[in-house]
Amino acid sequence: MAQRFLGDDYDVIEKTRQPSERTLCGRIDLSPRGASPWQQPYGPAGAVQNKATDATMAAQLSLSGAYGPQCGPDSRSAEFLAGHAAFAWQSPSLRDMPSQPWTTFRAQK
């Protein structure tokens, strides 16, 4: 269920599938509204480093993870900065985050 939640792109206000600050995946980078006061419009934020576990997995020292957004388009820093110059100061830290599939990781015994 956590994997589905982190990839949820349903906007309950607009009743559409459109990743934004109003969806569980939290793609503020795609939103003209932002998430004030935390993020201004198009702030580079959202679920892009996804991790999930449950009690059974935790007992086995295991978790599932997925790199990149699980809803909407991949996060591409050059494209983002080309459209949102106000965030240019973050360019040294922004990285491309292409969506990758969920993978389960387990500790070695």
Sequence ranges of the domains in the chain: 2-106
Q: Which residue, 64, 56, 58, 71, is CA-closest to 22?
A: 71
| Lookup: tokens for 21 | 């600050």
pLDDT tens digits for range 70-100: 998 999 999 999 999 999 999 999 999 999 9
Residues 27 and 50: beta-carbon distance below 8 Å: no
Q: Assess whether pLDDT exceeds 90 at residue 109.
A: no
pLDDT tens digits for range 23-65: 999 999 999 999 999 999 999 999 899 999 999 999 999 999 9
The pLDDT value given to residue 83: 96
The pLDDT value given to residue 108: 86
Question: d(Cα 106, Cα 62) in Å, to the nearest integer?
Answer: 4
Question: d(Cα 9, Cα 27) in Å, to the nearest integer?
Answer: 9
